Amino acid sequence: MFKIIRNKIRSWKNSRELQKSNWGREYGWYIEFEGKIIGELVDCEFRDMFWDRYKIIPKNDQWGSYLFDEKHWFESAFKFKNKHYNLYAPNPFTGGIGDLKISKQIEIRGLYLTSIG
């Protein structure tokens, strides 16, 4: 009985913590490609309905040219790991791309966590 209550309390606390972080958005995301962290998404900004805009921060210049090429975003070549929780967002996809080389920002839908444990 005690384990059940403890697990319910833990689940409730995790849910509250996740909600306070805007479902992980406030901590930012690592951008992974083929198992390597090549950059970050930071400064989440609500755009419209289900869309958020993030600044793209490449790990170095080599990855910068890769990250600012729209083709790679349309191919969904990246995975996104939350910087605080170390968990992957299950179903993100990109939308408003525009000219990445100028804006250095991307609009993404579904980039959030629904649970942390």
Number of H helices, E strands in the chain: 4, 6
Q: Is the pLDDT of residue 13 over 90?
A: no
* Two tokens, residue 114: 């629904």
- Reported as a single tens digit per residue, the pLDDT across 72-117 is 888 878 999 999 999 999 999 888 677 888 889 999 999 999 988 6
Print burial letters for 75-99: b (CB count within 10 Å at least 16), e (below 16): eeebbbebbebebebeebebbeeee
Res 12: pLDDT: 60
Res 42: pLDDT: 97
Query: Which residue shows structure tokens 């289900």?
Result: 50
Distance CA(39)–CA(43), nearest Å, equals: 14
Handedness of CA 85, 72, 96, 56 (dihedral sign): positive
Q: Would you list the domain boundaries of the chain?
A: 24-109
The mean-pLDDT minimum among 9-13, 43-47, 68-72, 109-113 falls in: 9-13
Q: Is the pLDDT of residue 25 over 70?
A: yes
Residue type, 89: A
Give me the mean pLDDT over the 1-12 stretch.
64
**Which residues lie closer than 8 Å to 58 by C-beta, 6 or more apart?**
38, 39, 64, 66, 67, 68
Is residue 57 classed as helix, strand or coil in its secondary structure? strand
Give me the mean pLDDT over the 10-38 stretch.
88
